[in-house]
A = this chain, B = another copy of it.
Protein backbone atom coordinates (compact mmCIF):
# COMPACT_ATOMS: atom_id res chain seq x y z
CA UNK A 1 0.00 0.00 0.00
CA UNK A 2 1.50 3.33 -1.10
CA UNK A 3 0.63 6.34 1.02
CA UNK A 4 1.45 10.08 0.98
CA UNK A 5 4.00 11.24 3.56
CA UNK A 6 6.45 14.01 4.37
CA UNK A 7 10.06 12.90 4.53
CA UNK A 8 13.52 14.34 5.08
CA UNK A 9 15.51 13.20 2.01
CA UNK A 10 18.87 13.64 3.72
CA UNK A 11 20.42 15.05 6.91
CA UNK A 12 19.59 18.70 7.38
CA UNK A 13 17.50 19.02 4.22
CA UNK A 14 13.94 20.38 4.35
CA UNK A 15 11.14 17.85 4.52
CA UNK A 16 9.22 17.33 1.29
CA UNK A 17 6.14 15.41 0.14
CA UNK A 18 6.77 11.83 -0.90
CA UNK A 19 5.06 8.48 -1.16
CA UNK A 20 6.03 5.53 1.05
CA UNK A 21 5.00 1.92 1.19
CA UNK A 22 3.18 0.46 4.17
CA UNK A 23 3.25 -3.28 4.72
CA UNK A 24 0.18 -5.43 4.20
CA UNK A 25 -1.88 -5.84 7.37
CA UNK A 26 -0.56 -8.95 9.16
CA UNK A 27 -2.52 -11.17 11.55
CA UNK A 28 -1.82 -8.96 14.60
CA UNK A 29 -1.55 -5.65 12.74
CA UNK A 30 -3.71 -2.56 12.77
CA UNK A 31 -3.97 -0.19 9.82
CA UNK A 32 -4.49 3.32 11.13
CA UNK A 33 -5.71 6.25 9.11
CA UNK A 34 -3.64 8.97 10.73
CA UNK A 35 -5.49 12.20 11.54
CA UNK A 36 -2.87 14.01 13.64
CA UNK A 37 0.88 13.81 14.18
CA UNK A 38 2.70 15.92 16.76
CA UNK A 39 6.08 17.51 16.07
CA UNK A 40 8.57 16.50 18.76
CA UNK A 41 12.01 18.05 19.18
CA UNK A 42 13.39 14.52 18.63
CA UNK A 43 12.03 14.60 15.07
CA UNK A 44 14.20 17.61 14.36
CA UNK A 45 17.31 16.15 16.03
CA UNK A 46 16.88 12.96 14.02
CA UNK A 47 16.43 14.50 10.58
CA UNK A 48 19.19 17.02 11.23
CA UNK A 49 21.56 14.12 11.92
CA UNK A 50 22.30 15.35 15.47
CA UNK A 51 21.98 11.77 16.67
CA UNK A 52 24.17 10.16 14.03
CA UNK A 53 23.50 8.71 10.56
CA UNK A 54 19.89 7.83 9.72
CA UNK A 55 18.26 5.59 7.09
CA UNK A 56 17.12 8.45 4.82
CA UNK A 57 14.57 9.24 3.56
CA UNK A 58 13.12 9.53 7.07
CA UNK A 59 9.42 10.12 7.77
CA UNK A 60 9.36 11.43 11.34
CA UNK A 61 6.45 11.44 13.79
CA UNK A 62 5.93 9.46 16.99
CA UNK A 63 2.94 11.32 18.39
CA UNK A 64 0.29 9.73 16.23
CA UNK A 65 -3.49 9.75 16.55
CA UNK A 66 -5.88 8.27 14.02
CA UNK A 67 -8.74 5.91 13.36
CA UNK A 68 -8.51 2.15 12.85
CA UNK A 69 -9.18 1.35 9.17
CA UNK A 70 -8.46 -2.39 9.20
CA UNK A 71 -7.37 -5.07 11.66
CA UNK A 72 -5.68 -8.43 11.20
CA UNK A 73 -7.60 -11.60 12.13
CA UNK A 74 -5.72 -12.06 15.45
CA UNK A 75 -6.44 -8.55 16.73
CA UNK A 76 -8.88 -8.42 19.63
CA UNK A 77 -7.98 -5.14 21.36
CA UNK A 78 -8.92 -2.79 18.53
CA UNK A 79 -11.80 -2.53 16.06
CA UNK A 80 -12.35 -0.66 12.83
CA UNK A 81 -13.50 2.88 13.67
CA UNK A 82 -11.72 3.05 17.06
CA UNK A 83 -9.72 6.17 17.79
CA UNK A 84 -6.18 5.06 18.57
CA UNK A 85 -2.67 6.35 19.14
CA UNK A 86 0.92 5.29 18.52
CA UNK A 87 3.89 6.62 20.45
CA UNK A 88 7.65 6.27 20.28
CA UNK A 89 7.85 2.50 19.79
CA UNK A 90 6.13 0.01 17.54
CA UNK A 91 7.73 -3.27 18.60
CA UNK A 92 9.97 -5.02 21.13
CA UNK A 93 10.94 -8.63 21.86
CA UNK A 94 8.02 -9.16 24.25
CA UNK A 95 9.96 -11.85 26.08
CA UNK A 96 12.76 -10.27 28.09
CA UNK A 97 12.44 -9.37 31.78
CA UNK A 98 11.84 -5.72 30.95
CA UNK A 99 9.15 -6.40 28.33
CA UNK A 100 7.43 -8.91 30.60
CA UNK A 101 7.34 -6.31 33.37
CA UNK A 102 5.76 -3.77 31.02
CA UNK A 103 8.90 -1.74 30.42
CA UNK A 104 9.03 -2.40 26.67
CA UNK A 105 10.93 0.86 26.17
CA UNK A 106 13.84 -0.82 27.95
CA UNK A 107 13.57 -4.07 25.95
CA UNK A 108 16.88 -5.90 26.36
CA UNK A 109 16.82 -6.76 22.69
CA UNK A 110 16.18 -3.11 21.82
CA UNK A 111 12.73 -1.61 21.30
CA UNK A 112 11.82 -0.63 17.75
CA UNK A 113 11.41 3.14 17.38
CA UNK A 114 8.41 4.36 15.41
CA UNK A 115 10.62 5.86 12.71
CA UNK A 116 14.19 5.50 11.49
CA UNK A 117 14.37 2.17 13.31
CA UNK A 118 14.79 -1.38 12.14
CA UNK A 119 11.68 -3.44 12.76
CA UNK A 120 11.96 -7.05 13.84
CA UNK A 121 11.28 -8.14 10.23
CA UNK A 122 14.30 -6.11 9.06
CA UNK A 123 12.38 -3.26 7.43
CA UNK A 124 12.93 0.39 8.27
CA UNK A 125 10.16 2.04 10.25
CA UNK A 126 8.54 5.24 9.00
CA UNK A 127 6.63 7.58 11.29
CA UNK A 128 3.41 9.47 11.56
CA UNK A 129 3.87 12.32 9.08
CA UNK A 130 1.82 10.21 6.65
CA UNK A 131 -1.79 9.37 5.99
CA UNK A 132 -1.58 5.76 7.14
CA UNK A 133 0.54 3.56 9.34
CA UNK A 134 0.51 -0.20 10.01
CA UNK A 135 1.42 -1.14 13.57
CA UNK A 136 1.38 -4.30 15.67
CA UNK A 137 -1.81 -4.15 17.74
CA UNK A 138 0.10 -4.57 21.02
CA UNK A 139 1.75 -1.19 20.46
CA UNK A 140 -1.47 0.64 19.60
CA UNK A 141 -3.16 2.64 22.37
CA UNK A 142 -6.85 3.45 22.81
CA UNK A 143 -7.57 7.18 22.78
CA UNK A 144 -10.46 7.60 25.21
CA UNK A 145 -13.45 9.80 24.45
CA UNK A 146 -13.16 13.28 25.82
CA UNK A 147 -9.73 14.19 24.48
CA UNK A 148 -9.61 16.06 21.22
CA UNK A 149 -7.46 14.16 18.70
CA UNK A 150 -5.08 17.06 18.05
CA UNK A 151 -4.58 17.61 21.78
CA UNK A 152 -4.13 13.87 22.32
CA UNK A 153 -1.32 13.39 19.80
CA UNK A 154 1.46 14.94 21.94
CA UNK A 155 0.42 12.78 24.88
CA UNK A 156 1.97 9.81 23.07
CA UNK A 157 5.47 11.20 23.64
CA UNK A 158 5.44 14.41 25.73
CA UNK A 159 2.62 13.06 27.90
CA UNK A 160 4.09 9.67 28.75
CA UNK A 161 7.63 11.07 29.09
CA UNK A 162 6.47 13.27 31.96
CA UNK A 163 3.70 11.05 33.36
CA UNK A 164 6.11 8.14 33.89
CA UNK A 165 8.52 9.90 36.30
CA UNK A 166 5.68 11.70 38.10
CA UNK A 167 4.05 8.32 38.68
CA UNK A 168 7.27 6.47 39.50
CA UNK A 169 8.37 9.04 42.08
CA UNK A 170 4.96 9.50 43.66
CA UNK A 171 3.69 12.93 42.63
CA UNK A 172 0.39 13.46 44.44
CA UNK A 173 -1.29 15.24 47.32
CA UNK A 174 1.18 16.59 49.86
CA UNK A 175 4.07 16.39 47.42
CA UNK A 176 5.94 19.41 46.14
CA UNK A 177 6.91 18.97 42.51
CA UNK A 178 9.03 21.34 40.45
CA UNK A 179 9.11 21.26 36.68
CA UNK A 180 12.21 22.69 35.02
CA UNK A 181 11.43 24.25 31.64
CA UNK A 182 8.00 25.12 30.26
CA UNK A 183 8.09 23.76 26.71
CA UNK A 184 6.39 20.81 25.05
CA UNK A 185 7.38 18.41 27.82
CA UNK A 186 7.24 20.91 30.68
CA UNK A 187 3.71 22.09 30.00
CA UNK A 188 2.49 18.48 30.07
CA UNK A 189 4.40 17.84 33.31
CA UNK A 190 2.67 20.83 34.93
CA UNK A 191 -0.80 19.74 33.85
CA UNK A 192 -0.30 16.11 34.87
CA UNK A 193 1.40 16.83 38.20
CA UNK A 194 -1.36 19.30 39.09
CA UNK A 195 -4.04 16.75 38.16
CA UNK A 196 -2.27 14.20 40.37
CA UNK A 197 -2.80 16.61 43.26
CA UNK A 198 0.79 17.77 43.75
CA UNK A 199 1.78 21.35 44.55
CA UNK A 200 3.50 22.39 41.34
CA UNK A 201 6.25 24.96 40.84
CA UNK A 202 7.68 25.93 37.47
CA UNK A 203 11.38 26.74 37.31
CA UNK A 204 11.92 28.57 34.04
CA UNK A 205 14.79 30.74 32.81
CA UNK A 206 12.63 33.86 32.91
CA UNK A 207 9.14 34.85 34.02
CA UNK A 208 8.01 35.27 30.39
CA UNK A 209 5.57 32.35 30.50
CA UNK A 210 4.50 32.82 34.12
CA UNK A 211 0.87 33.53 33.26
CA UNK A 212 0.68 30.36 31.18
CA UNK A 213 2.34 28.29 33.88
CA UNK A 214 -0.17 29.35 36.50
CA UNK A 215 -3.07 28.82 34.11
CA UNK A 216 -1.83 25.30 33.31
CA UNK A 217 -1.93 24.36 37.00
CA UNK A 218 1.29 25.54 38.66
CA UNK A 219 0.95 27.28 42.01
CA UNK A 220 4.37 28.93 41.92
CA UNK A 221 6.68 30.18 39.20
CA UNK A 222 10.32 31.18 39.61
CA UNK A 223 13.03 32.39 37.27
CA UNK A 224 16.22 30.31 37.45
CA UNK A 225 18.16 33.31 36.11
CA UNK A 226 17.50 34.93 39.51
CA UNK A 227 20.07 33.53 41.97
CA UNK A 228 17.67 34.22 44.86
CA UNK A 229 15.47 31.45 43.50
CA UNK A 230 17.97 28.84 44.62
CA UNK A 231 18.36 30.18 48.17
CA UNK A 232 14.63 30.82 48.59
CA UNK A 233 13.64 27.31 47.50
CA UNK A 234 16.46 25.35 49.18
CA UNK A 235 15.30 21.95 50.42
CA UNK A 236 11.75 22.55 49.21
CA UNK A 237 10.85 19.85 46.67
CA UNK A 238 10.13 16.14 46.83
CA UNK A 239 10.55 15.76 43.09
CA UNK A 240 12.04 17.87 40.32
CA UNK A 241 11.33 16.85 36.73
CA UNK A 242 13.94 18.42 34.47
CA UNK A 243 12.61 18.69 30.92
CA UNK A 244 15.56 20.73 29.64
CA UNK A 245 18.12 18.80 27.60
CA UNK A 246 20.87 21.39 28.00
CA UNK A 247 23.53 20.96 30.70
CA UNK A 248 22.40 22.17 34.13
CA UNK A 249 24.16 22.89 37.42
CA UNK A 250 23.16 19.59 39.01
CA UNK A 251 24.28 20.59 42.51
CA UNK A 252 22.16 23.75 42.40
CA UNK A 253 19.04 21.79 41.48
CA UNK A 254 19.79 19.01 43.99
CA UNK A 255 20.00 21.67 46.71
CA UNK A 256 16.31 22.41 46.09
CA UNK A 257 15.33 18.88 47.16
CA UNK A 258 14.16 17.84 50.61
CA UNK A 259 15.39 14.64 52.27
CA UNK A 260 14.65 11.65 50.02
CA UNK A 261 13.94 13.98 47.10
CA UNK A 262 14.68 13.06 43.48
CA UNK A 263 15.82 15.11 40.50
CA UNK A 264 14.75 13.27 37.33
CA UNK A 265 16.05 14.13 33.90
CA UNK A 266 13.83 13.18 31.00
CA UNK A 267 16.28 14.49 28.44
CA UNK A 268 20.00 13.84 28.08
CA UNK A 269 22.31 16.73 27.29
CA UNK A 270 25.24 15.78 25.05
CA UNK A 271 27.79 16.83 27.72
CA UNK A 272 28.77 14.85 30.81
CA UNK A 273 27.24 16.44 33.91
CA UNK A 274 29.22 16.74 37.11
CA UNK A 275 28.09 16.83 40.70
CA UNK A 276 29.38 16.92 44.24
CA UNK A 277 28.37 13.61 45.82
CA UNK A 278 27.73 15.45 49.06
CA UNK A 279 24.72 17.02 47.32
CA UNK A 280 23.25 13.51 47.33
CA UNK A 281 24.55 12.25 50.68
CA UNK A 282 23.64 15.44 52.55
CA UNK A 283 19.92 14.69 52.29
CA UNK A 284 19.64 11.15 50.92
CA UNK A 285 18.78 12.62 47.53
CA UNK A 286 18.73 10.91 44.13
CA UNK A 287 19.59 12.00 40.62
CA UNK A 288 17.61 9.86 38.18
CA UNK A 289 16.55 9.56 34.58
CA UNK A 290 13.46 8.31 32.81
CA UNK A 291 12.66 7.58 29.17
CA UNK A 292 9.05 7.52 27.85
CA UNK A 293 7.12 4.62 29.41
CA UNK A 294 5.77 1.13 28.73
CA UNK A 295 2.61 0.39 26.76
CA UNK A 296 0.40 -0.32 29.78
CA UNK A 297 1.57 2.85 31.49
CA UNK A 298 0.96 4.85 28.30
CA UNK A 299 -2.61 3.56 28.24
CA UNK A 300 -2.97 4.45 31.92
CA UNK A 301 -1.69 7.97 31.12
CA UNK A 302 -4.20 8.41 28.29
CA UNK A 303 -7.05 7.25 30.55
CA UNK A 304 -5.82 9.57 33.32
CA UNK A 305 -5.66 12.52 30.94
CA UNK A 306 -9.17 11.83 29.63
CA UNK A 307 -10.50 11.55 33.16
CA UNK A 308 -8.91 14.87 34.12
CA UNK A 309 -9.69 16.66 30.86
CA UNK A 310 -6.02 17.02 30.00
CA UNK A 311 -4.66 17.48 26.51
CA UNK A 312 -1.63 19.25 25.11
CA UNK A 313 -1.84 22.92 24.15
CA UNK A 314 -1.41 22.70 20.42
CA UNK A 315 -1.11 24.72 17.25
CA UNK A 316 -2.50 22.64 14.39
CA UNK A 317 -0.73 23.17 11.07
CA UNK A 318 -1.00 21.97 7.48
CA UNK A 319 1.75 19.68 6.20
CA UNK A 320 3.26 22.39 4.03
CA UNK A 321 4.15 24.33 7.22
CA UNK A 322 6.29 21.54 8.71
CA UNK A 323 9.62 23.16 7.82
CA UNK A 324 8.51 26.52 9.24
CA UNK A 325 7.31 24.76 12.36
CA UNK A 326 10.75 23.16 12.78
CA UNK A 327 12.33 26.62 12.68
CA UNK A 328 9.90 27.86 15.28
CA UNK A 329 10.48 24.86 17.57
CA UNK A 330 14.21 25.55 17.42
CA UNK A 331 13.48 29.18 18.36
CA UNK A 332 11.21 28.04 21.25
CA UNK A 333 8.41 29.88 19.47
CA UNK A 334 5.55 27.47 20.10
CA UNK A 335 2.98 27.22 22.87
CA UNK A 336 3.34 24.35 23.29
CA UNK A 337 3.25 21.76 20.51
CA UNK A 338 2.77 21.76 16.77
CA UNK A 339 0.44 19.08 15.48
CA UNK A 340 0.13 18.28 11.79
CA UNK A 341 -3.36 17.87 10.37
CA UNK A 342 -2.51 14.86 8.20
CA UNK A 343 -5.59 15.36 6.03
CA UNK A 344 -3.45 18.03 4.37
CA UNK A 345 -0.88 15.46 3.25
CA UNK A 346 -3.03 13.72 0.64
Show the binding face of A for B, using Cβ within 8 Å.
Answer: 97-98, 101, 103, 106, 108, 164, 168, 235, 258-260, 262, 265-269, 272-291
Q: Choose one: B168, B278, B283; the contact of A284 (CB below 8 Å).
A: B168
> In the complex, given contacts A273-B276, A280-B289, A282-B291, what are 18 additional A-B residue pairs having Cβ atoms less than 8 angstroms apart?
A101-B259, A106-B259, A168-B260, A268-B276, A268-B277, A269-B277, A272-B274, A273-B274, A273-B277, A278-B289, A280-B287, A280-B288, A281-B289, A281-B290, A284-B288, A286-B287, A286-B288, A287-B287
Report A99 CB to chain B, min CB distance, Å.
11
Complex: A166 Cα to B72 Cα, angstroms = 49
Complex: A164 Cα to B259 Cα, angstroms = 13
Residue of B nearest to A168 (CB): B284
Contacts of A97 in B (CB 8 A): 258
B277:A285 contact, CB within 8 angstroms: no
Q: With A268-B277, A272-B276 in contact, do A285 and B288 touch (Cβ < 8 Å)?
A: yes
B289:A259 contact, CB within 8 angstroms: no
A and B contact pairs by CB, cutoff 8 A, 15 listed:
A103-B284, A106-B259, A168-B260, A265-B277, A265-B280, A273-B276, A274-B275, A275-B275, A278-B289, A281-B290, A281-B291, A284-B288, A284-B291, A286-B286, A287-B287
Residue of B nearest to A265 (CB): B277
Report A157 CB to chain B, min CB distance, Å.
14
Contacts of A275 in B (CB 8 A): 272-275
Contacts of A274 in B (CB 8 A): 272-275
A278:B287 contact, CB within 8 angstroms: no
Contacts of A277 in B (CB 8 A): 265, 267-269, 273, 289
Complex: A331 Cα to B346 Cα, angstroms = 75
Contacts of A290 in B (CB 8 A): 281, 284
Contacts of A259 in B (CB 8 A): 98, 101, 103, 106
Residue of B nearest to A276 (CB): B272
Contacts of A286 in B (CB 8 A): 262, 286-288
Q: With A98-B259, A103-B259, A276-B272 in contact, do A235 and B281 touch (Cβ < 8 Å)?
A: no
Contacts of A285 in B (CB 8 A): 288-289
Residue of B nearest to A280 (CB): B289
Report A98 CB to chain B, min CB distance, Å.
6
Instruction: Report, nearest first, the 7 A-B pairs whose CB atoms are least far apart.
Output: A280-B289, A281-B289, A286-B288, A274-B274, A268-B277, A272-B274, A286-B286
A281:B262 contact, CB within 8 angstroms: no
Residue of B nearest to A272 (CB): B274
Complex: A164 Cα to B235 Cα, angstroms = 21
Contacts of A279 in B (CB 8 A): 289
Report A199 CB to chain B, min CB distance, Å.
15
Complex: A286 Cα to B263 Cα, angstroms = 9
Report A304 CB to chain B, min CB distance, Å.
19
Complex: A281 Cα to B267 Cα, angstroms = 8
Residue of B nearest to A164 (CB): B284
Complex: A312 Cα to B268 Cα, angstroms = 42
Contacts of A273 in B (CB 8 A): 274-277
Residue of B nearest to A235 (CB): B108
Complex: A275 Cα to B272 Cα, angstroms = 5
Complex: A96 Cα to B291 Cα, angstroms = 36
Complex: A55 Cα to B168 Cα, angstroms = 45
